[in-house]
Structure 1
Amino acid sequence: MTDLTLAIQVHNLCFGFPKGGAILQSCSLEVPKGEFWMLLGTNGSGKSTLLRLLAGLLTAEAGEIEILPPVGFVFQNPDHQLVMPTVGADVAFGLVQEKLSTLETRQRVEEALSAVNLMAFQRRPIYALSGGQKQRVAIAGAIARHCEVLLLDEPTALLDPDSQLDLVTQVQKLVASRGLTALWVTHRLEELDYCDGAFLLENGQVVDKGDPQRLRERLMQMEVPEL
């Protein structure tokens, strides 16, 4: 039964590749509306696969997914999703299917770029951006489409420390100011300082959830060198 206080509901989700065995096994989680949650787990635990299932990029073998549309997805490498030559054109590209007027499109683009502090970059070539700026353009694309849910797959993995901090605080502010719901895959424990809650995924199942600082302490006690 649908719970209107939740933005993401996953129940008993199962998925595996033909020659790779099971990736997710009866995986379940719930993310409240308007909150910023992170997804933790060792390499191969199924974090990125789960995110792609939520985004509709993969199809589950069994189980149920309920997620508020529209959904935005931010890849680990922004070069995999930025397709237009300039910042403004790339954000506008995602609006093509909505058949908006030129004025409406311009307003959406400007609103989105303003939200991620890139208004002055509207005519900037994509190739001239830093990695962190590219990730913010990807997020602006989701904002322009008025996405309810933002899924981010290790968006800081390729960024320097300053850009990492800038991006995670930017998403935290967007969740607080715009009512977005965000689910962020990470292997950086310091990023847990910025979220409302976290899930720990192991062997294709959520084995723990809740307070991010408690989960960080648990993971530190396990002495896992890299999540």
Structure 2
Amino acid sequence: MVLAGFQNPSAGTVHINRPFSYVFQNPDHQVVMPTVESDVAFGLGKLNLSLDEVRSRVSQSLDAVGMLSYSQRPIQTLSGGQKQRVAIAGALAEASKVLLLDELTTFLDEYDQMGVVKAVRNSVTASGEVAALWVTHRLEELRYADGAIYMEDGRTIIQGDVSSISRFIKRKQARYFGHFEL
């Protein structure tokens, strides 16, 4: 919440590269326009771009998340995962350098979870200029990360490579659940 600017830090300072975009956990809190194309273009109104530049950015960002063929579809006809990809496309269209992603897969079935995870991963690796900070409780999503931070009560407990964090969490779970092998 501090990184997104919704809360002030209780101590210290936070610096984040701009532009950045926050993608909400529930896509229905973010998608606001009647069609996919108009929703992705919505945030570009503040940038004073030509119509050709807007069209180009919308097409490129929808293509990056696998939703280009849906550009004329009404938003209300999309699945949760498709709406989530539209929200991500809107962030990409704004040429965001940092994507703050809040539990994107929470309300999604397994198919849409993977679609969203792959859309983010493809967006980050394709440009090489976009970083994604992904908040999740789903440990299986760690396999798509370059690194991880484990937090409790708003405090960093451990940070590092994914395998180290996964081992730490599994040991913690084993202590919590007893001596079962997880």
Query: Shared topology, TM-score over 0.5?
Result: yes
Distance 1:204 1:95 in 2: 33
1:68 to 2:17 alignment: yes
Partner residue, 1:138: 87
> Alpha-carbon deviations, 1:169-199, whole Å to 9, x = none?
2211211111210000011111111100000
Q: Is contact 2:147-2:161 (8 Å) kept?
A: yes
- The residue type paired with residue 128 of structure 1 is T
Shift of 1:138: 0.6
1:78 to 2:58 alignment: no
Partner residue, 1:185: 135
1:103 to 2:52 alignment: yes
Shift of 1:218: 1.6
Shift of 1:204: 2.2
- The residue type paired with residue 37 of structure 2 is G
Structure 1 residues without counterparts, runs of 5 or longer: 1-51
SS in 1 for 2:13: strand
1:155 to 2:111 alignment: no
SS in 2 for 1:139: helix
- The residue type paired with residue 83 of structure 1 is V
Shift of 1:88: 0.4
| Structure 1 stretch displaced more, 203-212 or 116-125 | 203-212
Q: How many residues align?
A: 174
Q: Which has the higher helix share?
A: 2
> Alpha-carbon deviations, 1:48-104, whole Å to 9, x = none?
xxxx21111222232111111011111110000111010000011000111112121
1:222 to 2:172 alignment: yes
- The residue type paired with residue 18 of structure 2 is P
1:93 to 2:42 alignment: yes
SS in 1 for 2:165: helix
RMSD: 1.3
SS in 1 for 2:92: helix
Q: Which has the higher strand share?
A: 1
Distance 2:29 2:148 in 1: 26
Partner residue, 1:7: none
| Structure 1 stretch displaced more, 207-216 or 183-192 | 207-216
Partner residue, 2:157: 207
SS in 1 for 2:96: coil
Distance 2:108 2:97 in 1: 26
- The residue type paired with residue 132 of structure 2 is A
Partner residue, 1:117: 66
SS in 2 for 1:106: helix
Partner residue, 1:58: 7
Distance 2:151 2:111 in 1: 27
Structure 2 residues without counterparts, runs of 5 or longer: 178-182
Percent identity of paired positions between Structure 1 and Structure 2: 49
Larger RCO, structures 1/2 (Cα 8 Å, 6+ apart): 1
- The residue type paired with residue 132 of structure 1 is G
Partner residue, 1:126: 75
